[in-house]
Chains A and B, each alone.
Chain A
Amino acid sequence: MIMEIEKNELLRYLGWNGQEIDETLQNKLDEAAKRCLAAAEPRSVAVRLALNEDFTLGNTGFRLEGEDIKKHLAGCREVYLMAMTIGLGAERELMRLSAKSANEALLFDTAASCAVESYADDICDDLEKSCAHRLTSRFSCGYGDFPLEAQKDICKILKTDTRIGLCCDESFLLTPRKSVTAVAGITDEPAPEKPQGGCGHKCGGCAKKDCAFRREN
């Protein structure tokens, strides 16, 4: 599993807009990426489940709520339910850096966000390969009207706490922070030759127009 921190993504997350980057800052960015990859212990869990007509998954009794996810999975009869995290080692390092320097903490935090997204993309590529069908882009709780509350059930079904050390708290937020849960539909089409990247890097269709991470198609 090659998890990368792509420089352009890191800058995009930091709100970069063409400003000049001098050597000092470049070194700090490189250092943060290196440190993050060293601290990360990526782990994931995924299960393949039938998508029933009432939008429940397999025999779990868990129902996907919201119109957006239904649209997203239109035509799929199966899905992958997945969760991934870069682990508590990175979380501890982030807490240590927060006590030391806000800038180092910011850069590490951002690098860690890139890392977990990149890792999630890799997992989706692998799943696509192993099922030999094209997957829809991954869709997470909080995207569109897919409720954040579903995060808790996803964690329960995947037993993420004991399997990958990922928990969902009372506010339906994930801990460690740098983690993802998602659903990806298994389409009838064959898997593409070249992996498409798990979330497709396309979110222009989302209704949340003021999102800082929005990317037009």
Chain B
Amino acid sequence: MDFLSYLKENIVVFDGAFGTMLQKKAKERGIEIGTVPELLNIQRPELIEEIHREYAGAGADVITANTFGANEKKAGGRELSEKLVKAAVDIARRAAGNKFVALDIGPVGQLLEPMGSLSFDDAYEIFARQMQAGKSADLILIETMTDLAELKAALLAAHENTDLPVICSMTFEQSGRTFTGCAADCFAMTASPLADAVGVNCSLGPKQLLPAVKAILENTQKPVIVQANAGLPDENSDYSVSADEFAQVYKEMLGMGVRVIGGCCGTTPEYIKKLRALADAAKPAPSPYKRRSAVCSATKRVEIDGVRVIGERINPTGKKAMKAALYEGNYGYVTQQALEQADAGADILDVNAGLPELDEKAVLTKLVKHVQAVCDLPLQIDCGKPDAIEAALRAYTGKAVVNSVNGEDKVLDSILPIAAKYGAAVVGLTMDERGIPKTAKERVKIAEKIIARAKEYGIPEEDVYIDCLTLTVSAEQAQACQTLEAIRQIKKKHRVKTVLGVSNISFGLPNRQIINTAFLTGAMFAGLDLPIINPNIPENMQAVAAFNALTGKDKNCAAYTEKYGAVTVQTSVTGAKGAPAAQTQSGDIFYCIAKGLPEAADRARELLETVSPLSLIDDYLIPALNAVGDDYEKGVLFLPQLISAAESAKLCFDEVKKRLGGSSGAEKGKIVLATVKGDIHDIGKNIVKTVLENYGYKVIDLGKNVPPEEVVRVCREQDIKLCGLSALMTTTVVNMEETIRLLRKECPACRVMVGGAVLNADYAKKIGADWYCKDANADVKIAQYIFGGGEEVPRL
């Protein structure tokens, strides 16, 4: 019988701890374990086999090969890794007899991007090679994971490189989260589509794991595995939970619906014997899982059990600044938009990179990576190209929404399988190759086609969100009511959710927000669950809050009262003009900038009544910043004060930009900044960025851990004259040197300034830089020299 058939019918018993058993035996026999315990697979195979035999004898159905840390990074080489894995599976097979053998996959041991420097693709390849080497096992067990992105890389590697069943488990702390903050419910939702069983292992004793186990059971339809520790180790590495206590809690878990049981650190064959007895006495209990409409990031689950707002701002269509940001690769702007929308109350963020001349696949993937690095809201992948959708779903750590498919067969059949593979929810537009139908009835018909086709691909109704499409009321007046009627009918007949882009309704009309608010309110009463709107517009969020109060979703109107109880409500129709600028007695613009006060912006607005935008920059802002810079150099000010000043100057520049209508007249030159490959310490680079920007320079921030080729590509494509690089330690200065070498070759006109903890002028010269910057102020001097307005700064 194969493993999956066995799992279907039975409670499956895994073996217990390997590491702690090995340590004990090694100690008794005076064997050195070293930093790679898997070396014993070759050096002392009899010892490994002995442990396996003890577990097989205790009644385990599955014997886990000693390959947990045998990946090439931990073992220290590909060949060795392969050898250790093959040896381990052979030993396990010898000991297992007619039982199943699991290939054990642990974490790579390095943190993935964005918090670490290992890329998702590299992690995938590492796992794929380890799995290839161990493919003669009967199943794959991915365990002790703490990073959902790393787990996803391993799951995809298993799926795409082997035919073996895959079980995966993560390690949760008492808080119900992993070290990286991943929540148990988010893990279950994200991993289930790619795994045959999901669950928890290690870290805690079985009792402490109960809340995480419950959260997982409620969020997966796959069998759930639990491999707890025998409690927490004390000083002498002894574990506190006895085999009887252990089995007692497992009995409860089997009643809750757990289907696969085993032990982790501190457990022994004695524990497994007890679990065997439990399994033999019990029948598989039903799972408490109920299908619900929900999406998640790694850290946050959002259930669609009421109106949930999808923020529409990360979309270049009709948005000049976003367009420019995407063309230039300025993801700082994108992440700011994400955080603003989150602060304004969005529940889900739409990401869209649909611009001609843009590599949509590459840019969409980058959008996903950058936004999820700073914001915990689930994402909606807004794209129609299957390859770009798949790339974005791979990069996304969570359960996303795919926006969208429509009633066309070729669209359905190309995108639905991708959504199904990654377990994403999918937006279905009620249109097809013939266009948008005029009647509600016809739109419902298309919706039903989409629902049925989704089901064929394994996507349940709860994961289909129907968009009944907004048409412009000034052009097709009858259509507004047809849209609302279609929403009503679909919600009545199906368990799907509905989604709608709202603001199109008012195109071509004056004071559009009046129409938008009314339509949004009407749509919510018709059954709209997911309005796609700009959450930064107060009326939009007001309408949602009012709807929740009126329909009783907001119990006792508590949320409404809390939000609007003590504020003067803003509206965008009356506009900002009516609002008086905050008056302070804090002095002129020089004073405000020097002190880092936000009132600097008010002063700038006032000045702009009488002076030109460019004069404001040259005669006020730059001199003010120069004075601050001089004070910093003299030690009158220290770093936080310098940056505060720069940040308040930025508010003034924003006023200037508003006045210039987004044209780049205010910009003094373009500078590329990057923290070099292998290095994630970017705080210094970020400070330099802020200071340079506030002198009016356009900064293209490539981020951290940036490959030399990427720096060179951007410098070449955008004809950059000045590039700043940062590195923290000698180990990453190597990559700085490589980046400079490539820049010299490919962009001879580009000058390079460098900074970082271990650098000094001599070291900077040695690696070929033009300038060493001891602080952010030094960068400004160099920029002023290069782009005009400053004295010569001698090169190294």
Interface residues of B in 29-63 (CB under 8 A from A): 32-36
- With CB as the reference atom, state the residue of chain A lying closest to B637: A19
The interface bits of chain B over 387-419 (1 if a CB of A lies within 8 angstroms of the residue's CB, else 0) are: 000000000000000000000000000000000
CB pair B180 A165 closer than 8 Å: yes
Q: Is A1 engaged at the interface, CB distance under 8 Å to the other chain?
A: no
Q: What are the residues of chain B within 8 A of A161 when measuring CB–CB?
A: 107, 109-110, 146
Give Cα distance in the complex from A19 to B731, angstroms. 35
Interface residues of A in 54-69 (CB under 8 A from B): 59-62
Contact of A177 among B74, B107, B202, B681 (CB under 8 A): B681
Interface residues of B in 620-637 (CB under 8 A from A): 635-637
Contact of B111 among A107, A142, A169 (CB under 8 A): A169
Give Cα distance in the complex from A28 to B730, angstroms. 33
CB pair B111 A175 closer than 8 Å: yes
- With CB as the reference atom, state the residue of chain A lying closest to B760: A210
Give Cα distance in the complex from A168 to B108, angstroms. 11
- With CB as the reference atom, state the residue of chain B lying closest to A85: B179
Interface residues of B in 557-612 (CB under 8 A from A): 595-597
- With CB as the reference atom, state the residue of chain B lying closest to A32: B640
The interface bits of chain B over 673-684 (1 if a CB of A lies within 8 angstroms of the residue's CB, else 0) are: 000001111110
- With CB as the reference atom, state the residue of chain A lying closest to B598: A24
The interface bits of chain A over 172-204 (1 if a CB of B lies within 8 angstroms of the residue's CB, else 0) are: 110111000000000000000000000000000
CB pair B106 A162 closer than 8 Å: yes
CB pair B681 A105 closer than 8 Å: no
Which listed segment binds B: A70-78, A88-96, A114-122? A88-96
CB pair A15 B638 closer than 8 Å: yes
Q: Is B336 engaged at the interface, CB distance under 8 Å to the other chain?
A: yes
CB pair B595 A22 closer than 8 Å: yes
Query: Given A24-B597, A167-B111, A173-B728, do A103 and B640 touch, yes or no (CB 8 Å)?
Result: yes
Q: What are the residues of chain A within 8 A of B643 when measuring CB–CB?
A: 102-103, 106
Chain A CB within 10 A, most for which of B235, B640, B680: B640
CB pair B681 A59 closer than 8 Å: no
Q: Is B729 engaged at the interface, CB distance under 8 Å to the other chain?
A: yes
Q: Is B335 engaged at the interface, CB distance under 8 Å to the other chain?
A: yes
Interface residues of B in 164-209 (CB under 8 A from A): 171, 178-181, 202
Contact of B683 among A99, A105, A153, A173 (CB under 8 A): A105
Q: What are the residues of chain B within 8 A of A207 when measuring CB–CB?
A: none
Contact of A175 among B36, B115, B374, B682 (CB under 8 A): B115
Q: Is B749 engaged at the interface, CB distance under 8 Å to the other chain?
A: no
Q: Is B518 engaged at the interface, CB distance under 8 Å to the other chain?
A: no
Min CB distance A129 to B, Å, is 13
Min CB distance B263 to A, Å, is 16
CB pair A25 B374 closer than 8 Å: no
Q: What are the residues of chain B within 8 A of A212 when measuring CB–CB?
A: 757
- With CB as the reference atom, state the residue of chain B lying closest to A155: B109
Give Cα distance in the complex from A161 to B116, angstroms. 12
CB pair A165 B146 closer than 8 Å: yes
Q: Is A157 engaged at the interface, CB distance under 8 Å to the other chain?
A: yes
CB pair B373 A88 closer than 8 Å: no
CB pair B109 A24 closer than 8 Å: no
CB pair B678 A156 closer than 8 Å: no
Give Cα distance in the complex from A139 to B730, angstroms. 19
CB pair B638 A16 closer than 8 Å: yes
CB pair A148 B680 closer than 8 Å: no
Q: What are the residues of chain A within 8 A of B179 when measuring CB–CB?
A: 41, 43, 87-88, 164-165
Min CB distance B608 to A, Å, is 24
Contact of B180 among A28, A88, A107 (CB under 8 A): A88
- With CB as the reference atom, state the residue of chain A lying closest to B646: A102
CB pair B115 A88 closer than 8 Å: yes
CB pair A19 B683 closer than 8 Å: no
CB pair A28 B640 closer than 8 Å: yes
Q: Is A14 engaged at the interface, CB distance under 8 Å to the other chain?
A: yes
Q: Is A109 engaged at the interface, CB distance under 8 Å to the other chain?
A: yes
Min CB distance B369 to A, Å, is 12
- With CB as the reference atom, state the residue of chain B lying closest to A109: B683
Give Cα distance in the complex from A172 to B117, angstroms. 11
CB pair B115 A172 closer than 8 Å: no
Q: Is A17 engaged at the interface, CB distance under 8 Å to the other chain?
A: yes
Q: Is B118 engaged at the interface, CB distance under 8 Å to the other chain?
A: yes
Q: Is B689 engaged at the interface, CB distance under 8 Å to the other chain?
A: yes
Min CB distance A77 to B, Å, is 19
CB pair A170 B690 closer than 8 Å: no
The interface bits of chain B over 95-127 (1 if a CB of A lies within 8 angstroms of the residue's CB, else 0) are: 000000000001101110011111000000000
Contact of A106 among B34, B36, B144, B640 (CB under 8 A): B640
Interface residues of B in 627-676 (CB under 8 A from A): 635-641, 643-644, 646-647
Min CB distance A172 to B, Å, is 5
Q: What are the residues of chain B within 8 A of A61 when measuring CB–CB?
A: 32, 34-35
CB pair B106 A14 closer than 8 Å: no
Q: Is B339 engaged at the interface, CB distance under 8 Å to the other chain?
A: yes
CB pair B146 A162 closer than 8 Å: yes
CB pair A171 B339 closer than 8 Å: no
CB pair A171 B181 closer than 8 Å: no
Min CB distance A162 to B, Å, is 5
Give Cα distance in the complex from A98 to B728, angstroms. 17
Q: Which 4 A-B pairs have the closest CB atoms?
A: A165-B179, A102-B690, A99-B335, A175-B111
| Residues on B facing A (Cβ under 8 Å) | 32-36, 74, 106-107, 109-111, 114-118, 144, 146, 171, 178-181, 202, 235, 332, 335-336, 338-339, 373-375, 595-597, 635-641, 643-644, 646-647, 678-683, 686-687, 689-691, 728-732, 757, 760
Q: Knowing that A106-B686, A130-B235 touch, tell me 10 more A-B residue pairs with CB under 8 angstroms.
A: A25-B641, A59-B34, A99-B338, A102-B643, A105-B686, A156-B35, A169-B116, A169-B118, A173-B680, A210-B760
Question: What are 7 A-B residue pairs whose CB atoms fall within 8 Å in the complex?
Answer: A100-B339, A101-B647, A106-B639, A156-B109, A165-B179, A170-B118, A212-B757
